[in-house]
Amino acid sequence: MKIRIYYEDTDCGNVVYYANYLKYMERGRTEYLRERGIELDTYHRRGVLFAVAEVNVKYRRPARYNDLIDMETTLTDTSSITFVFETSFYNQKGELLANGTAKMVCIDAGTNRACKIPKELAERIQAG
């Protein structure tokens, strides 16, 4: 997935504001799932939610206003209630700008407690 860096994405130094990488990672996870026929709102209507339990980002090089960066998102780990995505960001020279992981936990909306990932969802995620 490509992301154009707009002025609104940058800080006073004309560099992508660090927290925006979390938004980009969310987009990557959503598109990863969408490519596998998974729409999260379908599960939300069934009372199954997904929450970020842990996130880690390592910043290596700056991305700047008007850059076009490549973002790659992959599934790296799963359990009965969690899945972990890794996202890497590259500039047009192919240099690694940042990379990070996000651990998602499946939540029962009625109890707000962790629950098992629905079987069909787990199968689709892992089939990718």
Q: Which of 9, 11, 41, 108 is catalytic?
A: 11
Q: Which domain holds residue 63?
A: 2-127
Contacts of 72 (CB under 8 A, 6+ apart): 1, 28, 87, 88, 90
Per-residue pLDDT tens over the stretch 59-93? 999 999 999 999 999 999 999 999 999 999 999 99
Continuous segment of H or E residues that includes residue 76: strand 68-78
Q: Which amino acid does the sequence have at 49?
A: L
Count of domains for the chain = 1
What is the predicted pLDDT for the residue at 84? 96
Burial of residue 84 (CB within 10 Å: 0-12, 13-18, 19+) is: middle
What is the predicted pLDDT for the residue at 99? 98
For residues 57 and 86, give the distance between their C-alpha atoms in angstroms, rounded to a whole number.
10
Residue 14: both structure tokens together: 């004309």
CATH number at residue 23: 3.10.129.10
User: Is 11 among the residues known to form the active site?
Assistant: yes
Low-confidence ranges of the chain (pLDDT < 70): 128
